[in-house]
Amino acid sequence: MNNKNNEQIEILGDNHFSANTETPLRADAFDKSDDEKIKNIQHHFGMIMKEMGLDLTDDSLSGTPYRVAKMYIKELFYGLDPANRPKLSTFNNKYGYKKMLVEQNITIDSACEHHFLPIVGHAHVGYIPKDKVIGLSKINRLVDYYAHRPQVQERLVLQIRNDLQKVLDTEDVIVSVCAKHLCVSSRGIKDKNSFTTTLEYGGCFADKAYRDEFLTIIGQQAV
């Protein structure tokens, strides 16, 4: 890879461009079992550590390739696998509740796909029920699922909104994420205080009055 390519790669990462609403996955993404993936990543991460000059026979370091591999597949990036998507059973809206429902301060533990560094913050989700409602904790679980992928924040809010619109059978969904990116605070510009807000909505939230009601409820959330 020449220097020009490396420079373009850095620029793309610093600008956090994303080309697609869907997470770019290979066609064979789930042909291998989790155990096979952990074994392979363990090998490759060990090679990275070796290349950096680290002594893998050291007691403290010897288990690191396995720990990282297991953490990637089972924890940080479990949301890549559609088999791990939470089951979102809906209920009839028997109360006839037709006003805004807001689930706020949902923890975001994600990682940026350009640097594999943490994105931490909160999501706020609002919707106006039609005939269907879901259990409140299911919204938290869905947010957690989409967050646990290599992500860009713009795609994260889109994926959550699109899925909820389908499940709830209504366009009237709004999703906001406020988060800190460690790739902005710990490298590059090294800004410790800035955070990023993204907002996606559909249906009646295109109307400013609805958006304002939602934004007033969530307030100015510090991350």
* Contact call for residue 115 and Zn ion (CB under 5 A): yes
Tokens 């949902």 sit on residue:
106
Choose, by CB under 5 A, the member of 68, 106, 112, 139 that binds Zn ion: 112
Helix (H, G, I), strand (E, B) or coil at 145: helix
* Least CB distance to Zn ion at residue 184 (A): 7
Q: Based on CB atoms, which residue is closest to Zn ion, 13 or 86?
A: 13
* Contact call for residue 155 and Zn ion (CB under 5 A): no
Q: Based on CB atoms, which residue is closest to Zn ion, 115 or 180?
A: 115
Residues 6+ apart with CB under 8 A from 204: 128, 171, 172, 210
Strands ordered across the beta sheet of 173-181: 150-151, 101-112, 118-127, 173-181, 196-201
* Least CB distance to Zn ion at residue 13 (A): 6
Which residues are bridge partners to 197 per DSSP? 178
User: How far is residue 168 from each of residues 51, 102, 133, 134, 181, measured CA to CA in Å?
Assistant: 49, 14, 6, 8, 30
Q: Which stretch binds Zn ion (CB under 5 A): 64-72, 98-106, 107-115, 203-211?
A: 107-115
Choose, by CB under 5 A, the member of 76, 168, 183, 218 that binds Zn ion: 183
* Contact call for residue 179 and Zn ion (CB under 5 A): no
Q: Which stretch binds Zn ion (CB under 5 A): 91-99, 150-158, 178-186, 196-204?
A: 178-186
Pick from 83, 141, 94, 147: nearest CA to 119: 147
Answer whether 107's CB lies under 8 Å from 115's CB. Answer: no
CA 151 to chain centre: 5
Number of shown-chain residues binding Zn ion (CB under 5 A):
4
* Contact call for residue 114 and Zn ion (CB under 5 A): yes
Active site (catalytic) residues: 112-115, 153, 181, 183
Q: Which stretch binds Zn ion (CB under 5 A): 19-27, 62-70, 160-168, 180-188?
A: 180-188
* Contact call for residue 152 and Zn ion (CB under 5 A): no
State the residues that interact with Zn ion by CB under 5 A: 112, 114-115, 183
